[in-house]
Chains A and B, each alone.
Chain A
Amino acid sequence: MIISKAILDAFIDDHLLEQDNIRVEKAVRESPELQARLSNIIASRDMGDHSIGAIWRREHLSCPSREELLSYQDEALDHQRIDYIKFHLETVGCKACKANLSDLNPSNSFEVDPAIREKHLQFLENSKVLLPKKS
């Protein structure tokens, strides 16, 4: 496997297919040259440079909307669109859409646990001090 810049870019964003991710991670651990290339890409990103893949992933450009994911769950879309969203979730492995889909399932509500709910309310209360002051 030749490790191109695009592959390293996708590796940084955790967007490689599982097998590729394992291979690249192993190669990076073993190669100081790959580690340096990885550092260079990260430094270049910090300065504002982005590849096509990085921009696509960062802006979630092909991600379906929440409304569409809801329709996908209910199979209320045309079959081509359903097939594409399935591909986006399962083959591309979009973690943001998987997180959204899981969030749309009421049984997965994080607020069910009273301890988590309490922590959430506490956070809301504490974070209010950081809000800009009303003019």
Chain B
Amino acid sequence: MLNSPKCNSPWGLVHYSSSLAKTICIFDQAAGYVFRKMIMVSLDENLLIEKIQEGDQLAWSELVLRYEGRLTNYAKGKIKDHASCQDLVQETFLGFLSKINNFDASRSIQSYLFGILSNKIADLLRSREKSRTVENPVDSSGNYKVSPFIDPAMGASTWYRGDEKRKLENLALTQGLALLISELTQKKEYIKLKTIELLFVNALSNKEAANILGISNRTVATYRYFANNFIIDNLKELDLSPDVFPEFSEQDSDS
């Protein structure tokens, strides 16, 4: 496995960078140990956020101008009605602004905005779908219908784990993935990166990925194994259990 950089300072020392991400060492006193936090934003973005948090109108205009075009194009890719696209983008900005004081500076503004917009697009498409197929959520006695397939115990472990723990797990997984992608990019191991991307991002099977890339199933299986181990090792380094991510125990049946 490729070695990840070690932290040697408790206070914000940038020790790793690439075009994809910068990693900063942070000492988290609440958690009681050092962990590395992925910073995928440029400094001027942080400054922009700070200024908006202070009520700076020019900074707000700058942020809207900077992201409006790409967000609108993204919405247009999913919704044909352009007026709705513009409305959704504006609602996205309003949603962002309403929570500006709680914005997590470790997140990229672009990813955050695309996330809000994706949810708004999904809500709109769902509401349009519902208006075509009228649903009756209550039975004849007036009780809400419950699907027989919904597991009532779903999410028990999730609740048990608590918010902070989940945040830490997601942060660690993000970090592990970013490190993996960055290392493969730096080493120009693009065939490995392409394979892993098809498996994780597009959820293809080993066989499907092998067909697209023109490599053997066995090679794909090897790359999947490599990626899983890389991320698991990274989680273990942070004293986190990979068991909470069930994908690691799932093996592709056609490998």
Output the nearest chain B residue to A134 by Cβ-Cβ distance. B55
Q: In the complex, A5→B86 CA distance in Å? A: 33
Q: Which of A16, A55, A98, A116 contacts B177 (CB 8 A)?
A: A55
- Nearest-neighbour CB distance to chain A for B17, whole angstroms, equals 12
Contacts of A119 in B (CB 8 A): 86
A47 in contact with B201 given A33-B149, A110-B72 (CB within 8 Å): no
Contacts of A80 in B (CB 8 A): 188, 190
Determine whether the beta carbon of A56 is less than 8 Å from that of B177: yes
- B94 contacts chain A at the CB level, 8 A cutoff: yes
Query: Taking chain B's interface residues, is the majority helix, strand, or loop, or is none over half, making it mixed?
Result: helix
Contacts of B190 in A (CB 8 A): 80, 83-84, 87
Interface size range on B against A: 35 or more
B-facing mask of A39-60, CB < 8 A → 1, else 0? 1100110011111110111111
Q: Which of A43, A92, A110 contacts B69 (CB 8 A)?
A: A110
- B229 contacts chain A at the CB level, 8 A cutoff: no
A47 in contact with B72 given A36-B147, A65-B19 (CB within 8 Å): no
Determine whether the beta carbon of A40 is less than 8 Å from that of B151: yes
A96 in contact with B74 given A43-B155, A80-B188, A83-B190 (CB within 8 Å): yes
Contacts of B225 in A (CB 8 A): none
A68 in contact with B149 given A116-B86, A119-B86 (CB within 8 Å): no
A-facing mask of B220-253, CB < 8 A → 1, else 0? 0000000000010000000000000111001001
Determine whether the beta carbon of B53 is less than 8 Å from that of A132: yes
Contacts of B19 in A (CB 8 A): 64-65, 68
Q: Which of B55, B56, B203 contacts A4 (CB 8 A)?
A: B203
Interface residues of B (CB under 8 A from A): 19-21, 40, 52-57, 60-61, 64, 68-74, 76-78, 86, 90, 93-94, 97-98, 100-101, 107-108, 110-111, 114-115, 118, 122, 147-151, 154-155, 158-159, 163, 166-167, 170, 173-174, 177-178, 181, 188, 190, 193-194, 197-198, 200-204, 212, 231, 245-247, 250, 253
Interface residues of A (CB under 8 A from B): 2, 4-7, 9-10, 12-17, 20, 32-33, 35-37, 39-40, 43-44, 47-53, 55-62, 64-65, 68, 80, 83-84, 87-88, 91-93, 95-96, 98-100, 102-103, 108-110, 116, 119-120, 123-124, 127-128, 130-135
Known contacts A57-B201, A134-B55; can you find 18 more A-B pairs with CB under 8 A?
A2-B253, A6-B203, A12-B122, A47-B158, A49-B158, A50-B170, A56-B200, A59-B111, A61-B20, A62-B193, A92-B202, A96-B74, A98-B77, A99-B70, A99-B71, A103-B69, A130-B94, A131-B97
